[in-house]
Structure 1
Amino acid sequence: MPLQQHIRTGRFLILLLVLPFTMSCWYFGTFKDAPGATTRVGASSSKAQTTAYRTNGRLRTNAGTAYVGHLVANTKAGWATPSQYCLENGLLYKGADYRLGRTNVFLQGPIPKGAINSAVIVYGTRVKGLDRKLKESGPCPPPEEDHTPQMRSDWTSDEADRNGHTTRARLAETVYIEATRIEPLPLVTATPMETTGRNLYKKNTVLKVTNVFDRPLPSNVEFAFYYEGGSGKPMPKFEPQDLGELSPGESKLFLAPIPQKTSRRSRTNKWVFRGYRLKGKIGDVELNLLITL
């Protein structure tokens, strides 16, 4: 075979060997950041974010300032949970959509499923100056006549009256939570149970308190039964229970009455069991959970 033909044949063989390698490099270099790869990175980031708040499945108590409480949705006409305010200039302003106990909460993004009307843990910071979060929405509606006698302070919000009327100065002194994360918190479960025996209720509620955190729940954390009633204007009453210190994952059971929404007319002066309160602190987590069953 002539030399030139050998050279041409050799070049062709080299080309056949090099071309697939070159194409593979181009392919992986071009598509390594394709949507499929991005999805995998996102999943890893989400997992890493979850890990940042948990240790071996338990909530970390040093993952940043956090608050435990009852998360509810604000409403336009809510006495204690207003979502809008009428200010002294005659204009109506939109506020927060949610609140933790008595404190308004602002969260960028959707609320997790199952979080509304339940116990949650909210990661974030308390900020003073609710007036800075308001958005004007139009003129104030006509005022309503108030015939409610003996209003209790906890029947209305901290920042306005029962009709949502307030001032910018008052809102400037009101604290809210700028939240970064919200999670449902299965800290206490309630189960109905029937029992018989001396000094026992015929129908009971079993309250199970479980330490879902990564460190022992201190003995100075208060767990109390919540009652409403008394003579005259109904008032709240709390009966502390012997919770003690709970190790991570440990639970303790308490026997309570069946909760009643309202007392009977013949028992207006009686104390009626309504729910429970858990109050205290564990690490960077502040507990102030009041639940009406």
Structure 2
Amino acid sequence: MTTAMPAAARSDTDHLARRLAYLTVCVPAAGFAAAVAFAWHYGFTVTDGALLAGMYLVTALGVEGGLHRFFSHKAFAAGPVVTTVWGVAGSMAAQGPILFWVATHRMHHAHTDTDRDPHSPRPIGTGRLARLRGLWHGHVGWLFTVRRSGWSGHVPDLMANRTVMRLNRHYFTWVALGLALPAAVGGLVSGSATGAVSGLLWGGLARIFLLDQVTWGVNSIGHTLGNRPYRTRDNSRNVAALAPFSVGGSWHNNHHAQPALAVTRRTFWQLDIAGSVIRLADRAGLVTNVRYPSRGRRSAENARR
């Protein structure tokens, strides 16, 4: 039996959450601006580009393959070591602890494009600006208004998992690790403090900022613009332009049509990097019980097109 959180405690929780939201949004944005200014003065090196691309790929896979397909939808199973790898990679993206990310996403699926959807981009109010206000809310504004209390009702399975709870408790350690690694590599490769700072800015803060925009873009643009090959009960859409940057997460209508699957690709040309990594992990025996589209269903879907 659970008891309701007192109003004062809820207020304190929401107030702290809003402060964290400002840090989550503003610090990476300031870091991206600082990275551009730093590069203007000191240049943008091959190492900077490699750290940006490498850390982006690792954390993008952590978000899409880990936080999304693994933790949120249980699209495949894994042991403690592989679970830890997915959890650390996703947490280094600095989009929130595992429990918060998963609880928010599960609420999104349960109440997609309704008033109870945490980040629906539906028009807010009336008039010409209503659509823009809704789009802004779906992209980033929701972070400042979403209730942080009551997560346990959406993630009881994860709360019963000791590995996940340990990862969740050390969230800020993983965020710090995601900043320290590129700084250390940048400093070692260049042999200078300038290289370390540049690594921190490009492989750390700028990388977080850019991945945030892509992840949030799936929330906002992915429910506003794009094509709808499947007739879902929501307004989810496929956004092909974001597919490389979201490592397959922007095939959003595909996902909402069959959210439990480990892959979002439905035709040969749809790029799904996260799905390919999961397939490779499956072949290597690192993950099990991977949920793929059944051949019969794929054939029926192709016939309807």
TM-score by length of 2: 0.21
Task: Kindly indicate which of the two structures has a greater share of residues assigned to helix.
Answer: 2
Q: Whose relative contact order is higher, 1 or 2, with alpha carbons under 8 Å and at least 6 apart?
A: 2
Task: Kindly indicate which of the two structures has a greater share of residues assigned to strand.
Answer: 1
TM-score by length of 1: 0.21
